Copies of this chain bind each other. A is one copy, B any other.
Amino acid sequence: MERYGHILRSYDIKPSYTRLLIYQYLKEHKNHPTADEIYQSIQQNIPTLSKTTVYNTLHLFIKKHLATMIMMDETETRYDLITKPHAHFKCMSCSKIYDVAVDVEQFSVEGLSDYVVNDAQLLYRGICPKCQA
């Protein structure tokens, strides 16, 4: 928990207990959770936790470029820590989102030279191997 304090501070985020737990959850559950999944989990440690705080914290993380949001369908927004660039694959059958390894060098796209790029995402949709039986 507290071992993540310096990480939050390096992103100009004051490491409150709630923020540490939310960061820890994202760090140790890389399954692109929804805000509600994070809430349900941390509520066990902080019974008074408000869902608004989860949203507030996630928005703060995003503003500080520590996390990003992944939207594959309109029903649920998912969150992911910004680590090394990788792509996401969503199976339209089982709804699972997979991490996909990607070569970073390919991401230097011409035509963006005048743009300030804060975030880049490569998203795929289709059918995963398990659902092809």
Contact = CB atoms under 8 A, between A and B. Distances in A.
A89 interface: yes
A47 interface: no
Contact of A71 (B71, B102, B118): B71
A119 to B, nearest CB: 4
Identical copies of this chain, number: 2
Sort A-B residue pairs by CB-CB distance and give the 3 closest, nearest first. Answer: A71-B71, A116-B127, A119-B125
A89 B116 contact: no
A119 B112 contact: no
Interface string A92-133: 100000001111101111111011111111111111110010
Nearest to A70: B71
Interface residues of A, number: 38
A60 interface: no
Given A71-B71, A72-B71, A101 B92 contact: no
A88 B120 CA distance: 10
A94 to B, nearest CB: 12
Given A71-B71, A87-B109, A126 B122 contact: no
Interface string A62-78: 00000001011110010
A115 B109 contact: no
Contact of A89 (B115, B124, B126, B127): B115
